[in-house]
Amino acid sequence: MHIKSIFICLSAAALYACGTTGKKQATITASITGLKDSVVYLTIPVADSSKRDTIPVKDGKFTWTGEAAEPVKVYLMFPTRYVDFFLENSDIHITGHADSLSDLKITGSASQDEQLVYEASIKNITDQEEKLYEKYEEIKSNDSLKAAWEDQVAALRKQRRKGTMQYITANPKSPVSVSLLSDMAVMGEYKQLDSLYQLLDTSAQHSAVGGRLGARIAILKKSAIGEPMIDFTQPDVNGKPVKLSDFKGKYVLLDFWASWCGPCRAENPNVLKAYNAYKDKNFTVVGVSLDDSGEKWHKAIEEDGMPWLQLSDLKGFRNEVAKEYGIQAIPSTFLLNPEGIIIAKDLRGQALHKKLQELLN
């Protein structure tokens, strides 16, 4: 698993629609040295789904024409990786070399130019993050070194988030700001996200992407820190219905995961360590799986040695609880106090142990 692979599934929120005849179209003209004859795929987010176009490549060149109702971040998939950029109704040119797709030059999109300004503003931070990620394999087996590494990553992530918030505040009309805030809203905290959303210009809020972002933030209010977790019932591994309210009186880590989620499986040993340390101190874990295969779910529970209660309706990301709380990425956790109030979210690694030590020791 690549350490930077934090999320398995993200639900993009953006709009692509046909315009009226006579409007300027969006065109992409690419010339990439060393790119073999094949195809590339252009993925354009459409509401809560996406549209994918297949584009043939000949002699390193390819073209695409369409219409964008508004600037939108799209994803161009090459045989070895993807590149994202902002599509709008303009003539966009892509040049570079197949051996360095991360360094492609993309011109002609004003929104993409704004994205580059944002990236430059946080480059010092992202460069430091890259260097830290490269060290992970060396320190991952040493608990003390790993804890120090996690603290450094968390500090840099906090700095990057601060830089992102500054950009959004300074550029309230930019589609880049709406996109950045949408990314933050995948797993962000309601109060901060809502404050930033209110700073956006009304034109940004009323865009298709901005409208869905507003709806997303409204859903996140349900899972804000300080809110009571809504009771639910789901079957356990034996098909027996279990209520979350059955665990009132205990601190509960509600853990959303799945057998196919690499980062979830990598975090399971850490959750197990916390469970064993605090299970006799009024603490337990309740897993909610976003699997759709009972066989794979049961196998993962056995392989990872998870002794706590596991629940699932086996509907994947359509899990009723996940839909209620708008969960778009896993692992995702909620720490509940004995009254069922959410007191922390998305605690991983040493952060989970620090919080439990603070509460239970």
Residue 62 pairs with which residues in a beta bridge? Answer: 30
Q: Is the pLDDT of residue 231 over 60?
A: yes
Q: Is residue 57 a contact partner of residue 36, using CB atoms and an 8 Å limit? A: yes
Q: Is 56 exposed, middle or buried (0-12, 13-18, 19+ CB in 10 A)?
A: exposed
Query: Residue 360: what residue type?
Result: L
Q: What are the pLDDT digits (tens) for 252-269?
A: 999 999 999 999 999 999
Does the predicted TM-score (pTM) go above 0.75? yes
| Structural domains present in the chain | 26-108 (2.60.40), 121-223 (no CATH), 233-360 (3.40.30.10)
For residue range 22-71, what is the model confidence (pLDDT) as tens digits? 568 999 999 999 999 999 999 998 877 789 999 999 999 999 999 898 99
CA distance 17 to 68: 6
Phi, psi (degrees; rounded to nearest 5) at 252 = -125, 130
Tokens 């909610």, residue located: 288
pLDDT single digits (tens) 304-354: 999 999 999 999 999 999 999 889 899 999 999 999 999 999 999 999 999
Tokens representing 273 are: 């360590």
Altogether, the residues listed in the chain come to a count of 361
- Classify the C-alpha dihedral 300-302-307-312 as positive or negative: positive
